[in-house]
Amino acid sequence: LLILGIESSCDETGVALVESSGDAVPRLVAHALHSQIEMHQAYGGVVPELASRDHIRRVLPLTEAVLTESGRSLRDVDVVAFTRGPGLAGALLVGAGVACALGASLGKPVLGVHHLEGHLLSPFLSADPPEFPFVALLVSGGHTQLMRVDSVGHYELLGETIDDAAGEAFDKSAKLLGLGYPGGPALSRLAQQGDPAAFKLPRPLLHSGDLDFSFAGLKTAVLTQAKKLGEHLEERKADLAASTQAAIVEVLVKKTLKALQETGLRRVVVAGGVGANRLLREQLDAACARQHVRVHYPELHLCTDNGAMIAMAAAMRLQAGRQQASTEYAFDVKPRWPLDALE
């Protein structure tokens, strides 16, 4: 089964081909991506209307690129998958509209995918895919959740952020430090030259006894520190970046360990953009190695949004019999859509 996947939920247009046969883990055939980051940088964040228009410009050329690269044609595609939500309504409509138009014109069924399920299953695109069941730490720009994953479609929410997401904490702190948008990667780069113990920043909800997170207070603490430093901020910026990163990572690692303890599971899957963070990988690997727990990550370039994870999620849902592709081309999108509400 050859699945074409289209991602357009936010500021990345992604298209990919994934092939599945029998019970084997589906295989990535080709993928192409265009990031709008540069376009939105001037505004310090994503401008929804610009995002939609750019998806329109990019999606067909990217589709042609993956077909050419893989030596396949549109006729070879069996199912067209797209991101149905959550995300920006206008941006989602572009991917959904194009997917359904392609499906209708080819006479092939379509399948709407949950963006977070795409992130969650993205480690299955790596050379050493995980096995079920596992604890998932989903850390993206809009979400921070711990989940118990028993199989495709069986997701139990264990805890989540009550305010900002981890990626948002990185981005907002980076913005305060003048590091541009999205600041996560820049902050983590600067942090390498800083002292993570230089500033005492809060570890919100670290001892709350549950598996929830809170990062809004951290951003305020970073702002307070930055103001206090005043004209000395520039020379202490790397220290403040390192301290911020250490605070976020410590909470993520400790709560993940707690989720392992509570579920009794021996495997962790990390997914979402913050999963690219080096310190998080180092500290989680070290902590889990001590407890003989396996950790799986998506490949670095597949941590943030991409079409491969959407095609993969569609392939795995079909394979598991969780969903059927449909020839009902009257599409809708779900800008707000909790993962545990997935049928």
Q: Are 263 and 90 in contact (CB under 8 A)?
A: no
143 binds, among ligand ATP, Mg ion, Fe ion, none (CB under 5 to 8 A by kind): ligand ATP
Quick note: the x/- pattern for Mg ion over 279-318, rule CB under 5 A, is --------------------------x-------------
**Closest approach of ligand ATP to the CB of residue 266, in Å:** 26
Confirm or reject binding of residue 225 to Fe ion (CB under 5 A): no
Q: What is the DSSP string of 61-103?
A: HHHHHHHHHHT--GGG--EEEEEEESS-HHHHHHHHHHHHHHH
What is the torsional sign of CA 219, 220, 223, 224? negative
Q: Is 31 annotated as a binding residue?
A: no
Q: Is 180 annotated as a binding residue?
A: no
What are the structure tokens assigned to 20, written together? Answer: 């599945």
Q: Which is nearer to Mg ion, 160 or 305 (CB)?
A: 305
Q: Which is nearer to ligand ATP, 52 or 319 (CB)?
A: 52
Confirm or reject binding of residue 239 to Mg ion (CB under 5 A): no
- The region that residue 250 occupies, defined by phi over 0 for left and psi between -120 and 50 for alpha, beta otherwise, is alpha
Q: Which is nearer to ligand ATP, 189 or 266 (CB)?
A: 189
Q: Which stretch binds ligand ATP (CB under 6 A): 13-21, 150-158, 181-189, 315-323?
A: 181-189
Confirm or reject binding of residue 8 to Fe ion (CB under 5 A): no
CB proximity list for 246: less than 8 A, separation 6 or greater: 191, 196, 197, 201, 279
What are the structure tokens assigned to 138, written together? Answer: 């989903």
**Closest approach of ligand ATP to the CB of residue 27, in Å:** 23
Confirm or reject binding of residue 145 to Fe ion (CB under 5 A): no
Q: Which stretch binds Fe ion (CB under 5 A): 132-140, 197-205, 313-321, 326-334?
A: 132-140
CA angle in degrees (0–180, nearest 5) for 327-331-335: 140
Give the H or E element holding residue 309: helix 307-319
Q: Is 306 annotated as a binding residue?
A: no
Q: Are 5 and 16 in contact (CB under 8 A)?
A: yes
Reply yes or no: is the peptide bond before residue 130 cis, omega within 30 of 0.
Answer: no
Give the H or E element holding residue 55: helix 48-70
What residue number has its CB nearest to Fe ion?
305
CA distance 150 to 270: 15
**Closest approach of ligand ATP to the CB of residue 329, in Å:** 25
Q: Which is nearer to Mg ion, 12 or 160 (CB)?
A: 12
Coil, helix or strand at residue 287:
helix
Quick note: the x/- pattern for ligand ATP over 12-51, rule CB under 6 A, is ----------------------------------------
Give, as one character, the DSSP assignment of residue 8. Answer: -
Q: Which of residues 255-284 bind ligand ATP (CB under 6 A)?
A: 272-274, 276-277
Please enumerate, by residue number, every residue annotated as part of a binding site for substrate. Answer: 138-142, 171, 184, 277
Residues placed in the known binding site: 115, 119, 138-142, 171, 184, 277, 305
